Amino acid sequence: MIRLTSTRDLFVLLISLAAVAGLTAALRALPDVSATTVALALLLVVLGAATLARLRIAIVTSIVAMLAFNFFFLPPVGTFTIADPQNWIALFAFLVVAVISSNLSASAQNRAREAIARRNELARLFDLTRDVLLTTETASALDALARHVARRFELSSVAICLPADHGWRVHQGGANEIALDTATLNDALARARGTLEFDARQRAYGGHTRTGPNNDVTLVPLRHGTRAVGLLAAGATCLDIGTLDAVAGVVAIAIERAQFLQDRDTAELVRQKADLAATLLASLSHDLRTPLTAIGAAVENLRGDLPAEERRLQASAAMTEVDRLTSLFQDILDMARIDAAAIRVDRQWVAAADVVDAAMANARHALEGRDMRVDADADLEVEIDPRLASVALSHLLENAAKYSPPDRSIVVQARVEHEGLHVSVTDHGPGLDPGELDHLFERFYRGRAARQASFGTGMGLSITRGLLAAAGGRVWAENVPGAGAKFTIAVPGAVRPVTVAQ
């Protein structure tokens, strides 16, 4: 910017000198031209130079114009000697008017330049504030903030320095890194925590420090209110202290906002865990109470003198409830593993029919007495984790058994296609509410019809999605006209004919 201004001033100076020379030659060619006319004409050139360039250019132009006026138009012409004392007054008046008008014009230009600089400063501060508001990532918020400052204010080196438990955390933002030792940062922060004073001339609060090998790094305090919490380090820059102090104020607000966002996320995580625990207890209360009550009743009956057939029925009822409890605790364990990303994938070659058989065995307590129509492919094998696929499918079978009428069939279709295993489960229930399709696989979610029709924890579909996601698969649901709801799982894997394995 300085180089461009100097080049422009030099260009204006050359043009002004050329204008003085050209105007002098033109006026010399006019017969009987008066000194007043010459003075006013040359004064216009001086005013033009003052309007287009800095004060020093206008002063040089006015001196050259005064010398030309003296040499070419005041008698004796051709010398710098003035014979008539009145001409001294005219020459002095010309010089004074030229200097004063140049000074006034230059002052107006300076005010205009300052106004433009302040406007640009406000625009950049506004852009920086907008960058801060658009930053929602808390992990890398300060690094992004340092880059925003460097980009908005064209700083080649800038850093945000915050004290930590052991030393300082320095977030670099410019193309060139700023190297600052701990002692320098500690001393600068200690000075910034002194008495807070505002310098109206520099438009900045006190506490800024200059450091670096060439004394070219400025340290500006970052303050939350009146308390200094860090430092903004800026390399060699044309920004004044007032602008840097304003930037530091925005940076301090951004740091405080990032801390608030992090605290909010932490509080939200704690709230979600509390809600999860409350929901889990509320959801499991009935599912635990019912089988425990049934087991207690069966055991109490077994203590009496019952016929052999009745004892067998009571023991079978107790074992059914034990299986239900085992399945419930297995669901809780699977959900914990999904949350901890601790699902192991053990791929094996397996046929689609084998996966369906294993899933039906897992869900036998829910499928007992139900009409099952199974169409499973047994000619091809797919390399997947059979345990994950069968457990995920068993939850879909249990879900279909809950919402399908007892006198209607549950249809299972399993195919091994070129991209992997595809299994669909279709019930003949009331179908899915279109407004609830986006929430079906959320944890503990149960639709309105589901809450009225049966009991459950709402974990099954969520576990299905988590297990399949660990294996690289997916699950989706849709309504089938005249046939209720249809759930489909897809698990990718290599495919081969069964005869190869045999």
479 strand-pairing partners = 485
* Coil vs helix vs strand at 112: helix
The CATH code for residues 348-501 is: 3.30.565.10
Q: What is the mean pLDDT of residues 355-381?
A: 87
Domain with CATH 3.30.450.40 in the chain: 139-264
Q: Which helix (H) or strand (E) holds 25?
A: helix 2-29
Phi, psi of 431 (to 5 degrees): 85, -175
Pairing of the two strands 167-172 and 158-164: antiparallel
Distances from the Cα of 2 to the Cα of 5, 15, 237, angstroms: 5, 20, 12
Task: Report d(CA 110, CA 168) in Å as an integer.
Answer: 41
- Encode pLDDT of 402-417 as tens digits: 888 888 889 999 999 8
- Fold for 266-339, please state it: Helix Hairpins (1.10.287)
Mind listing the pLDDT tens digit for each residue in 122-168? 777 788 778 777 776 666 788 888 888 888 888 888 888 888 878 88
Q: Which pTM was predicted?
A: 0.46
CATH architecture of structural domain 139-264: 2-Layer Sandwich (3.30)
Residue limits of CATH 1.10.287.130 in the chain: 266-339
For the cut 90, the answer to whether the pLDDT of residue 185 exceeds it is: no
Closest CA to 499 of 419, 418, 380: 380
Length of the chain (residues): 502
Indicate if the pLDDT at residue 99 is higher than 70.
yes
* Each residue's pLDDT tens digit, 196-248: 666 555 556 666 777 766 777 888 888 877 788 888 888 877 677 777 778 88
For the chain, the helix, strand and coil percentages under 3-state DSSP, each to the nearest 5: 60, 15, 25
Q: 94: Cβ–Cβ under 8 A, 6 or more apart, which residues?
A: 39, 42, 43, 65, 66, 69
Q: How many CB atoms lie within 10 A of CB 479?
A: 15
pLDDT score of 1? 41
* Mean pLDDT on 30-59: 80
Instruction: Between 254 and 87, name the one with better pLDDT.
Output: 254
